[in-house]
A and B are shown apart, each in its own frame.
Chain A
Amino acid sequence: MSTLFEEVPPSFGDDVPVRRLELTVNGERRAADVEPRLLLAHLLRNGFRLTGTHTGCDTTNCGACTVLYDGVPVKSCTMFAVQADGHEILTVEGLATASELHPIQEGFKDEHGLQCGFCTPGMMLSAKALLEENPNPTEDEIRWALSGNLCRCTGYQNIVKAVMWAAEKLGGGTAGSDEAGEEG
């Protein structure tokens, strides 16, 4: 054993229910046998080793574990993995391509939208869902959409700027910006 921890295949007793699930994660078909009580966050992190999805509070408060479930932002610590059977999941690992960051990621980089980075994956996925529904959000709408994601560095100001940056880059722009405000 090369490390202090090595995962082994699960060996369940006959009384333990195991279910086969098939889902799409970041565009890729995946399958797994899971106990129904496995949380979606843990399937992603411990099962598929997609550790970009963070578990912060583990009590449905912080939103660090946010992923897109069929395009809708959800807290993956508050869903069972079995509920993802037949569904599409997008995690932060699915945002960038091999060569390019997603505009939302670029925005967080350019506008210093992160300090410790723990809340960032959840913030970015909530932002993605917002911009798909509303490509031209006001600052208030951005704050509202991100209000389920907590940042304990309290870097909200730059997070909002990062999302505005991404909205511009994606072609929408922000209705709340100064220029638009004058006209509207």
Chain B
Amino acid sequence: MYPSRFRYEAPSTVAEAIGLLAAADGEAKILAGGQSLIPMMKLRFAAPAMIVDINGIGGLNYHRADGDGTYRIGALCRHADLEKSASLGDHQPTIAAAAPVVADPLVRTRGTLVGSVCHADPQGDWASVMVSLEGAIVAQGPNGQRSIPVDDLIDGPFQTVLAADEIAVEAVVPAARGTRAGGYLKLERRVGDFATVGVAVSVEMSGDSVAKAGIGLTGVGPATINASGAAAALVGTSLEADAVDAAAQLAAEAAQPRSDHRGSADYKRHVVATFVRRIGAQIQRSEQKAA
């Protein structure tokens, strides 16, 4: 399978890339990992007139914590970089839990977190993780940078509010007020398949009670779902079974799954609730161990 013809540009700076995007007037696509874009081009679901390959731009392959705890992931940080990171788990347990279950090991060597979020596939893992963390994408355009919360970034399936001349240069997770804990669980029929259901739960613990919580759902709606009502039910609790159970029920209600070859809607709702309970129990166990 071959994609349609396109013009290929490999700029060496972000500014140059933005110039190319602006000139292409909406007909260009950015190539980072390409693990979603290239398959779509081969199937001709996408036929951009220009490809702007950002892999030659230096300084975008990083993941690090700022002094104040803000966590930053650059546009060329691959899933495998996160999977193999020694320091990530201490700072960002939810991201560390998701990194090894994104796609398969070969896709993970190329694909990027920022690219996956901007691809806005309802079955993409990273958007749910970022939603649970109140994460944002930093977009750079001709007039400078702006920060867009991931919850506002995604407009629908495969749609974002990014302008045609903007590049997502990094993902940012704000500093936690307490101790971070969290997890990501995913059900897939086989390695590399899209998620039947994915659930991200992130909490900030103040002592043994939850100061802040976020829950993101993958693959159970027309876009990534922010189960904020379910997350709110966790705040102020110490993740005791009753509280987690209530949140699990609310998360299942927030899901909008469709019955398909991966399972019935009822089944998917059931898995959402089960995953919230499991992550809740995981967090509680690790908190007890730490205490």
Q: Which of B106, B110, B192 contacts A126 (CB 8 A)?
A: B106
* CB within 8 Å for A37 and B105 given contacts A58-B42, A79-B38, A147-B191: no
Contact: A82 with B105, CB < 8 Å? no
Q: Which residues of A contact B41 (CB under 8 A)?
A: 37
Contact: A148 with B107, CB < 8 Å? yes
CB distance from A72 to the nearest CB of B (A): 5
Number of A-B contacts (CB under 8 A): 85
* CB within 8 Å for A148 and B106 given contacts A79-B38, A80-B38, A83-B53: yes
- A63 vs B108: C-alpha distance in the bound complex, in angstroms? 12
CB distance from A67 to the nearest CB of B (A): 10
Q: Which of B4, B55, B107 contacts A83 (CB 8 A)?
A: B55
* CB within 8 Å for A75 and B42 given contacts A37-B4, A60-B35, A148-B191: no
Chain A residues bordering chain B, tally (CB within 8 A): 31
* A98 at interface by CB-CB < 8 Å: no
- A60 vs B68: C-alpha distance in the bound complex, in angstroms? 40
Q: Which residues of A contact B107 (CB under 8 A)?
A: 60, 75, 78, 148
CB distance from B223 to the nearest CB of A (A): 22
* A35 at interface by CB-CB < 8 Å: yes
- A90 vs B147: C-alpha distance in the bound complex, in angstroms? 40
Q: Which residues of A contact B174 (CB under 8 A)?
A: none
CB distance from B32 to the nearest CB of A (A): 11
* B3 at interface by CB-CB < 8 Å: yes
Contact: A78 with B35, CB < 8 Å? yes
* CB within 8 Å for A37 and B3 given contacts A17-B8, A60-B39, A78-B38: yes
Binding site for A on B (CB under 8 A): 1-8, 10, 31, 34-35, 38-39, 41-43, 51, 53, 55, 80, 103-107, 109-110, 191-192
The 5 closest A-B pairs by CB, nearest first: A148-B104, A36-B8, A148-B106, A147-B191, A148-B105
Beyond contacts A17-B6, A144-B105: 8 other A-B pairs, Cβ-Cβ < 8 A, are A75-B110, A78-B34, A78-B38, A82-B8, A126-B105, A147-B104, A148-B107, A149-B106
